[in-house]
Amino acid sequence: MKVDYIIVGIGLAGISFCEQLKAYNKSFVVFDNASQQSSTVAGGLYNPVVLKRFTSVWKSEEQLDLALHLYVNLEEKLNVKLDYKIPVYRKFASLEEQNDWFTASDNPRLSQYLSGSLVKNNNDSINAPFSFGEVLTTGRVDVKTLIETYKADLLKQGLLFENLFDYSALEDKSTGVCYKNIEARHIVFAEGFGVSKNPFFNYLPMVPTKGELLTILAPKLNMDFVLKAGVFLIPLGDDLYTVGATYDWHDTTHDITDKARNQLLDKLEKVINCDFTVVKQVAGIRPTVKDRRPLVGKHSDYINMYVLNGLGTRGVMIGPYVAKALYEFIEFGTPLESEIDIARFK
């Protein structure tokens, strides 16, 4: 079999790159054994503002433009609902935080994303005496549905191999790469935290960050917005809400823990005062990088091997942006931005 590309990994990064290939009629196959769960347990929020510091996300406007178009197209192709438009409210802990918000909303880079008006709390189940600030141009992508339906579509087309990728079987040639019976011009590794076991790219400074989420049932909460208040509280419908997330830089298992559950519940109980039941807990390892920028680029020795990784906690937004950058780098020779190019870690 001959193809233009082999892709290893089909999370948010892999899907975004596949869509770039389809747009330019490039042939490809994908290998994925579902061992990495960071995308499937993601909250799926897209939000152009860092709410801890009231600053703009890097390349927020460019990222949003590409991401929103991508998810609209995927909804049509896969015949599923993926993009749920929903406001994000930042709970204020003090009058000082309100003032910081107003100062930020006057910043030209942030004014399009931060409402200049306070949102009064009218929900008796939420403790918010200092009101909320509303972030504009926000929403939630159903990442689990996206990945499941995308993989099913690839399987139907015979483009997905659901088995472990054997690095020792990969041969580098002057014209491309060869993997078992597959010849390709290029190979792109989009494995998430799995890249730590990749002998070609395991030198990259990936920082595994375990995250755990809860799903709660809270019939009296009646909340139709995403709330950021120490934790994220995301409505899913039918009185279900996602609560997240934790950050653990030491545990690299996919096991759920009582420690994370108690940490989330402790924060949650300071925000809401209604009854709720925990119905689910999940864990995954985020592929984060020490400088908080993705890992994109070409191997220094193997000219047909590339990496697309390190999306961190904002994969829904940044995935389409870096996938486009990598494709244009490979096919058109467009230089990568220094902030994301793996050459920064030579």
Neighbouring-strand partners of residue 248? 210
The mean predicted confidence, pLDDT, of the chain is: 94
Q: What confidence tier does 234 reach under pLDDT thresholds 50, 70, 90?
A: very high
Q: What confidence tier does 290 reach under pLDDT thresholds 50, 70, 90?
A: confident
Sign of CA dihedral 15, 28, 297, 249: positive
Cα torsion 48, 53, 59, 64 to 10°: value is: 0
Cα torsion 248, 252, 256, 257 to 10°: value is: -50
H/E/C letters for each residue in 20-35?
HHHHCCCCEEEECCCC
- The CB-side HSE value for 183 (13 A sphere, CA atoms) comes to 6
Q: What confidence tier does 286 reach under pLDDT thresholds 50, 70, 90?
A: confident
Q: Which whole-number Å values give the CA distances from 267 to 23, 152, 245, 270, 307, in the listed order?
A: 44, 37, 10, 5, 37
User: What is the model's pLDDT at position 35?
Assistant: 66
End-to-end CA distance of the chain: 34
Q: Which CATH number fits domain 207-289: 3.90.1170.40, 3.40.47.40, 3.30.9.10, 3.40.50.300?
A: 3.30.9.10
Q: Tell me the mean pLDDT in the region 243-247.
A: 92
Q: Tell me the mean pLDDT in the region 70-79.
A: 98
Q: What confidence tier does 203 reach under pLDDT thresholds 50, 70, 90?
A: very high
Q: What does the pLDDT look like over 137-178, one tens digit per residue?
A: 999 999 999 999 999 999 999 999 998 999 999 999 989 999
Within 8 A by CB and 6+ apart from 336, the residues are: 296, 297, 325, 326, 329, 343
Measured distance CA(141)–CA(206) in Å, rounded = 25
Q: What confidence tier does 196 reach under pLDDT thresholds 50, 70, 90?
A: confident
User: What is the model's pLDDT at position 84?
Assistant: 95
User: What is the model's pLDDT at position 285?
Assistant: 86
| pLDDT higher than threshold 70 for residue 40 | no
Q: Tell me the mean pLDDT in the region 44-57.
A: 92
Q: Give residue limits of the domains in the chain.
A: 2-42+144-205+291-345, 89-137, 207-289
| pLDDT higher than threshold 80 for residue 321 | yes
Q: What does the pLDDT look like over 96-137, one tens digit per residue?
A: 999 999 999 999 989 999 999 999 999 999 999 999 999 999
Architecture of domain 2-42+144-205+291-345: 3-Layer(bba) Sandwich (3.50)
Quick one: 103 exposed, middle or buried, by C-beta within 10 A (0-12, 13-18, 19+)? exposed
User: What is the model's pLDDT at position 193?
Assistant: 87
User: What is the model's pLDDT at position 38?
Assistant: 63
Domain 2-42+144-205+291-345 shares a fold with domain 207-289: no
| pLDDT higher than threshold 80 for residue 232 | yes
Q: What does the pLDDT look like over 269-285, one tens digit per residue?
A: 999 999 999 999 999 88
Q: Where do we find the tokens 């590409």?
A: 66
